[in-house]
Each structure stands twice: as structure tokens, then as C-alpha cells.
Amino acid sequence: MPTYTVLADANEAQFQNPQELVSIWGGVREDIERLGGELRASHALVGEYDFLLTFEVEDEEAALQIAIAIEGHGLDTETMRAVPIERMGELVEDL
């Protein structure tokens, strides 16, 4: 299954405190699974973005649905397809 990475930034106007922000993660995980994805990793970040999520899903349409669902939890997101370095080597060899 293709892997997607989501860089997410919390919309501070929607969350009063860190506990409220932490409380959304169960819903985020449920949405990813409901839409056919599998959450592989989630991390809090120090820097421009607040969180990094990595999930696998069958197709690009489902990845888009997941990104929209995550935004529905009050996060601004940037979603990108992630390709393993090993796979990049295979693609380069095919050129």
C-alpha cells in the first residue's frame, strides 16, 4: 500500500489547552481506519508544524478523504506521498 505523510498544524483558535488537542487523536485514528487506511506513526514536532502522521492506504482518493477528515478535527494539513528510499533506487535504475 502507498504511504502518505501528513504535516499538521493545530488551529490555536479551536483548542483551549493541550489536553483538548490530545483528545482528538482517537478520532483521527478512527477516521483513518474507517476510510481504509492504517496509521503507521504519529509524532509531535518542534518547529514549523505541530504533528507528523504517517499512514498507508490503497489509493490516492482514500488519501485525500483521510486528509480532509483530519482537517475536520481542527488541524491544518499538508499531505504528501512518501516513497521509501529503496523504491527510489529502483525507479532511478529504470531510467
Q: Alpha carbon 52 to chain centroid distance?
A: 6
Domains of the chain, each with CATH number or no CATH:
3-93 (3.30.70.60)
Kindly indicate the confidence band of residue 94, based on its pLDDT and cuts at 50, 70 and 90: low
Average pLDDT over residues 34-40: 97
CB distance 79 to 5 below 8 Å: yes
The pLDDT value recorded for residue 10 is 84
pTM given for the model: 0.84
pLDDT tens-digit readout, 15-35: 767 777 777 888 999 999 999
